[in-house]
Structure formats: structure tokens, C-alpha cells
Structure 1
Amino acid sequence: MRVVLSCLLMLLFVPDWMGEPRLPLMGKRAVVRAAPIALDAAHPARSRVGALVWLGGVRLTSPDRAFGGFSALHVARGHRVTLLSDGGNIVQFTLGPDWRPRAIAFGDLPAGPGTGWAKVDRDSESMGVDPRDGSVVAGFENSNMLWRYTPDLRRALGAAAPRAMAGWPGNEGAESFTFLPRAGWGGGAIAIGEQAPWPGGTGRAAFRFTGDPVREPNRGYRFSYIPPARSDPSDMTVLPDGRLIVLNRRFTLPFTFTNTLVVIDRGAIRPGAVVRGREIATLAPPLVHENFEGIAATREGGRTILWLVSDDNQSVLQRSLLLKFRLDAPGTPGSARP
């Protein structure tokens, strides 16, 4: 009788409940704290890893129970940071020279592939900002869909399920997605799946959208991406010079992450191509390391800046880290040093 009564109460007060706990939504009280970290805790003066120069980093925390799980990142002018979690949660703040988050705002994607009751419905793993109008496109795993939102992420504008992505495994969808500039590329976008190859192929399935990825989702061509050994692509972006930079992740026991960044020349992307990038930096012990899943590129004083964010899987064993590096230009003395 007690079990029956409990079920009736559940149905009464949560009428749409289907047996799975609902993903937590961001609260109205937006609080984010940032604690500084070092590139190498044992050697705090260290400032270089491969072609990257360390500019700083913080561990982000919040009392909000939905905070964390960040899988996508965008940094706008004025250091306005937007983080998107793999549950459709949004965190935004402006980061000053003192690394203190200001003008903090929390939110949740207003629409998506499912009802939002379970992670499988709201698994947003990537994000790109359309350079034409500032609208945001998020890539969803499991549904293998792309959804477009207004620049403020408050309203959905459209969605597409590209035929090329229809067969991507449920949890290995558009882990990486970026828009391409018109200059050099002619516009469009690229999506890379996390683990599976094209049928009969090798590496990771990738698709180059030659038109708008939401309005013309089936216009484009396939190619394959070969990540570093035992690694999976977790995000990518376009550098100011038009090259692609891909963030790759490898997990090893007893709980260690290794992240390798590779650069791909624009000319390497063509129909049917099998593409490998040139490795420029690797984050691994004893350097700071985590489950980095988001990358963004900006410009400061004529130099290229790279930002990384980690997905803590909302686990007490992991951290939400935001890192900032300067990328040395090709041929810069010392740019290949470890």
C-alpha cells in the first residue's frame, strides 16, 4: 500500500515523470567562483607547453547543483565567456584581468531534441557561433541533430537532422562542431563524430557542410579525421589564419586525462580525404590535465589566444577548469619546445 501511495503521489505532483530523474536546471542565483591554478603545480614558473604559452587558468565552482559538465565554449570580445553543458545548461560571465567572473548569468537552452527529462534528450556536446548573424548552433548527441538559437540563447530558430549524421552512434554524435569563415573557406561548417568511422572507413566520421548546416543540412561532403593514438576528438575551432585546431582527449587508468591539440591546414579538407593534424601541444601529467571538451580562439594585441574548458561530469573526482594560452605563430623560436 505504501508503494502504491508513493507512486500516486509521484504522478500527482510530477505528471510527466517517466521513471528517470530530471536533469537539474540552473538556478536564478548566479554565483561563480574562480580559484587560480598553475600549468605545473610542482614548478609554478613554467609557462610553456609545445607551441602554447601559459597565460593563466582557474578552477570554476558554484553552489548551484546544475553547475558543471561543460562541453562547449565561446569567448567573445571583452572576454565574455559562454559555457554550454552536456545537459543544456548555460553559464555566462565576463572575465577581467584579475580572473574574477563578473556579470554572471545562468540559463538553460529553451528547446532541444527531447523533453529535457533525461540526459539523452538534452546531450548538447558542441557549439558554434555563426559569423553572419551571431546565432548559435548546438550539436546534440544521441539525436544527432543541430539546433539553432538566437545570439542570446533565449529562443530556438530551427533544427536539422543531417542525413550524413543519422547513423552516428547514440553517444558519439557531433562532439566537435565549428562554423567556417567565408574568407578562404567560403562559409559553411564542419562536424566530427567522437569515435565511429564511416562504414568501411577509418578514423572518425566528419562532414563538411558547404551551405548553412541547419537550413541546408545535406549539402556537403564526407571526409575522415585521424586523431592522435588512442585519442578521440572532443572539440574544434577555426584559428584566425583559417586553419582548424582540434582538441583531442585520451583517458587512461587510474583516472588520468591527456589532451592533444592538432592543427589542420585548410587545403587538407576535401571530399573523401583522410586527414591527420600536426600536433602542437599535449597536456598530461605532471602538467594540469582534465577532461577538456571545449576550445575557443580569440585575438588579443595581434596574437592568437586559445581557451580550454573541462567537463567535470559533475563528479567530485573532477574539476571545471578554464585555461588560457597564447599560440606561437609558426616558425616562432621555441614554438615546438615541450
Structure 2
Amino acid sequence: MRLVLLFSALLTTAALAGPVPYQGGTRVSFTPLPAVSGAPAQKARYVGGYEVKGEGTSWLTGLSDLVVKPGKDGVMIDAIGDYGSRARFTLPVRGTEGPLSVEMLRAADGKPFGNKSLSDAEDMSVDPRDGSVYVSFEGDARVMRYGPDLGGPGERLPLTGLPALPSNEGLEALTLHLSTKGVASLILGAEVGGFWRCALDSYRCETLTGPTTPGFTYKLVSLAPLDPARPDEMLALYRFYLPVVGARNVLRVLRLEGNRLKVIDEILRIEPPLPIDNYEGVSAVKTHDGYRLYLISDPIGDDDPTHLLMFDYRP
């Protein structure tokens, strides 16, 4: 979500500030961020990061979430953004650039969404059983289901039991939950507050009792699975921003216990000297002794670079 302090500027410069489609061959480049010294020890250890820049298109902007999985040539990343775009690229094992695929998410009629309010994709989760991708939207608060490549028309889920949500503080967070009995549901969170569990066999949503935020003005921006072998545990990313302070983030591990989400651990705070930004997406990849965590930013300013950070977490 674009931050409130930028809202008026975006309204007056929308014709100039919005992204434009393909301008030629598209690629993505990765510029390593400077090394960090003096950062306090945390349960998730910072291992590096990059500025991520699209070449030949400006649709690689306003990224809200990512799903990461290992590949033979590097780490494969799918990301979605505020303008209804889907980006696919690889963080290479060697080198500093690679191919970039950018497409538009589509409505049920197969056409791109008509305006920013409809296009504002915020979080996504992949169903490991068939590869379906669930995407939550903030402006018109809803969840849509897509095929494995996020292509083709999306299906709007007929969810019931959700409250009316403010247009700019809607369904910011989503993750798929598979119970030990194989029951599938979506865990949803709103930036304005509140958690829900929505069964995928009935599309009925029930309210979950959730934790308070990590502090004043912190807001939930993403939910993500930690480990398929531990289905009741999930990552919860929160962000904070004040102009006189700057951006901050907190990453927690939550556990679903009945109808309650409980904080199990706080594993990370992103504050100076770590590279601060408006991080809105998190994804975890299992390693031989823990997890590699990836966080991606929706930059505070339109001309600011996208940041991709990496942390190692060993519970």
C-alpha cells in the first residue's frame, strides 16, 4: 500500500507517476547493498541484500509480496504489486542480472483490472496440492484464485462473514492453511486490524482472536508459511512509518491454536543500521539447518529503488 504521506502527491501526478508497459526487451538487475556493521544480534541474521531494478519496463514497482523457491540457476521469485502486475525473475547464483517477465493480473472476464482500487494486489499464497495461487486485494477487499502461473482469468471467491473494510486498509495479508486433517482454509488479515479463517469448501469466514501489533502505528502487511511440516505456524510481517523517524519492520512467528493466533517469537526488527524501507512481502525457503527469509519492499518514494533483503533464521 502506498503510504498516506504520498497520497496527495500521487493524486496530482497520477498521469506521470504511474508505471508504463513494455518499452523493449525486459531484464532485471541486482545491485548489492553496502555491508552492514554494528547491527544488534537477532534470531534472524542479516546476510545481505540488493537494489532490484527493472530494465525496459516500469511495471517492476510497488511490489507487495513475493513467493520464493529454489531453482537450478538461482532463486526463482514471483512478485505481485500495487498496480495489478505480476513479475517473475531469478536471483542468479552468479552474475547481477537476468530475464524479467512482467504481466498483468486479470479479472474473471480475462481483462486487466480497470483502475488502481481494483488492481491493488497485496499478498499471495500457493496451494501446494495443485499450484493454485490465492491473491488478496486491498482497495476492493477480496480474494481471487489463479492458476499456477498467475495467468489467465482470476476467480473471485464468494467469501462470506467478512466485515466491510476501509478501501485503503483492506485485505493486506493472506496465507493458505492446511490442517493435519487436510482441511484447507485461508488465513486473512486486514491492515486496519482483524484476522479471519475462511474455509475453502464453504467460503465461510470466522473471526480469529489475534495478537496486538508490535507497537503504536505498526500495521500488518503480510502473512506467509514458514514450513509445510509445521502448518500451524506462519510468519507475520508488520510495518511502521513516520516521516520524522522513517520506516521500521517487525517479523514474528505466529501459531494457530483453535480460533486464536498466538505470538510464538519475534525474530527480526528492521531498523538502522539495517537497510530500512517499506517492506511489505516475506517468503521463507527451508535450508539444511533452518530457513532463508526474503523480504521485498514497496519503496516509500516513486523514484526510490526496490530492496530485496535476505536473513537466515535457525529456530
- Place the TM-score, normalised by the shorter chain, in its bin: 0.7 to 0.9
The answer to whether 1:150 aligns with 2:150 is no
- The separation in 2 between residues aligned to 1:168 and 1:266, in whole angstroms, is 23
Cα pair distance change 1:226/1:112, threshold 3 Å: farther
Q: Check conservation: 2:107, 2:153, Cα contact below 8 A.
A: yes
Q: Which moved more, 1:64-73 or 1:92-101?
A: 92-101
Q: What CA RMSD, in Å, does the superposition of the two structures yield over aligned residues?
A: 2.6
CA contact (8 A) 2:126 2:133 kept: yes
Residue deviations 1:233-260, cap 9 Å, x none?
A: 1101121133111111010223611101
Q: Supply the distance in 2 between the matched residues of 1:223 and 1:251 (Cα, whole angstroms).
A: 25
2:282 corresponds to 1:295: yes
2:191 counterpart of 1:207: no
Alignment correspondent of 1:13: none
CA–CA distance in structure 1, aligned partners of residues 104 and 301 of structure 2: 16
Pick the aligned partner of 1:104 from 77, 100, 110. 100
Q: Return the offset for 1:49.
A: 4.5
What percent of counterpart residues are identical? 23
The answer to whether structure 1 residue 126 and structure 2 residue 147 are counterparts is no
Rounded Cα–Cα distance in structure 1 between residues aligned with 2:104 and 2:141:
19
Code of the aligned partner of 1:246: A
> In the alignment, which residue of structure 1 is the partner of 2:137?
140
- Please report the TM-score for the alignment, with normalisation by the length of structure 1: 0.78
Q: Deviations over 1:204-245 (max 9, x none)?
A: 211012x22xx6321544333311012101101121133111
Of structures 1 and 2, the larger Rg is shown by: 1
Alpha-carbon distance in structure 2 between the residues aligned to 1:39 and 1:62:
23
Tell me which residue corresponds to 1:56.
48
Amino acid at match of 1:50: Q
Q: Is the 8 A contact 2:39 2:274 kept in 1?
A: no
Aligned to 1:251: 241
Provide the rounded CA distance (Å) in 2 between the counterparts of 1:65 and 1:157. Answer: 23
1:260-271 pair list within 5 angstroms: 260-267=250-257, 270-271=258-259
Matched, 1:171 2:168: yes
Q: Does 1:37 align with 2:16?
A: no
Q: Shift in Å at residue 160 of structure 1? A: 1.9
Q: Which residue identity lines up with residue 259 of structure 1 in the other structure? A: N
Note if 1:71 corresponds to 2:64: yes
| 1:47–1:156 Cα change, 3 Å | farther
Q: Distance in 1 between matches of 2:153 and 2:289?
A: 35
For 1:163, what is the secondary structure of its paired residue?
A: coil
Unaligned runs of 5+ in 1: 1-19, 196-203, 330-338
1:315 aligns with 2:305: no
Stretch moving more, 307-316 or 245-254: 307-316
Larger relative strand fraction: 2
Q: Is the CA contact 2:161–2:206 (under 8 Å) kept in the aligned structure 1? A: no
For 1:54, the aligned partner's letter is Y
Q: Which amino acid aligns with 1:105?
A: S
Deviation above 4 Å: which 4+ runs of structure 1? 20-23, 46-49, 112-115, 274-277
Shift of 1:299: 1.3
In structure 1, C-alpha distance between the alignment counterparts of 2:82 and 2:300, rounded to whole Å: 9
Distance 2:84 2:194 in 1: 24
| TM-score of the pair, normalised by structure 2 | 0.83
